[in-house]
Structure 1
């Protein structure tokens, strides 16, 4: 049931942004814990999880995640290669543009939904970001479950 609802969320986010690579991570013990992603790139879910296990993403070492945890608002990078805030992991996964949406429980960020444009730049508009943020809020209970 949870997987189907996450896939539904991902489909709706794709409709809003026209970006296909979407993933959900919980934040556990200060690092990202991958839950589910779309199957649009060369990795697939199991390989994606194993890459994260081999190279954990620590919130404290990622400028964008640190910023989001302090101030839970969507963060986006239009051009990963030319933005100094870009994390090494963006390059590892071949991301060109990225939108990171916080999943909050009260004021605490408990997870993130990532919309990652791979293979081409994407300019996230204010409308896309606002609609995506509203959509993530509608699915918050499933995401926190």
Structure 2
């Protein structure tokens, strides 16, 4: 999948949710590998640098375990008061998040994550459903990107 297609996906999710910070991570060797994100807010290079400096391991976060091991969509309105609040979330000033796994043949290859930085936000069931449908329409390219 070309980055331009990934950016189109991010734009579609942004128009549904109002989120400006959307990214794609792949899962490799039990940790997150950042692939790409929107250019708003946190700089892409800083985002990748934070992940390289302090790797995010799946087993260190109940949020990541839910997405990767349990293949769940995760929606958190108030990240700071969630049991899965981690140093990564704190350092990035993430207040709310939406994580949708990229699944094929019962395997999670990665996920699309939308975050609200600096302020809490809510997501309706219909917004989440639309995001899942859009991600599904890009699934083949996303799986290839995350392999």
- TM-score bracket for the superposition, by shorter chain length: over 0.9
Q: Could you say what secondary structure the match of 2:8 adopts?
A: helix
Q: CA deviation at 1:48?
A: 1.0
Q: Which residue matches 2:26?
A: 26
77-86 or 9-18, which deviates more = 77-86
* TM-aligned CA deviation for residue 84 of structure 1: 1.5
User: The residue matched to 1:114 in structure 2 has which SS?
Assistant: strand
The Cα of 1:121 is off from its aligned counterpart by 0.8
TM-score after normalising by structure 2: 0.93
| Aligned-partner SS, 1:40 | coil
SS in 2 for 1:11: helix
1:34-93 deviation digits (Å, cap 9, x = unpaired): 00001111x311121111000100011110111222321211110111111223211111
Count the aligned residue pairs.
Answer: 144
1:1-145 maps to which residues of 2 (within 5 A)? 2-41=2-41, 43-145=42-144
TM-score normalised according to structure 1 size: 0.94
Gaps of at least 5 residues in structure 2 are none
Give the distance between the partners of 2:49 and 2:69, measured in 1 at CA.
Answer: 28
Q: What is the alpha-carbon distance in structure 2 between the residues aligned to residue 55 and residue 82 of structure 1?
A: 22
SS in 2 for 1:122: coil
Residues 63, 87 of structure 1: 8 Å contact kept: no
In structure 1, runs of 5+ residues without a counterpart are none
CA–CA separation in structure 1 for the residues paired with 2:107 and 2:91: 28
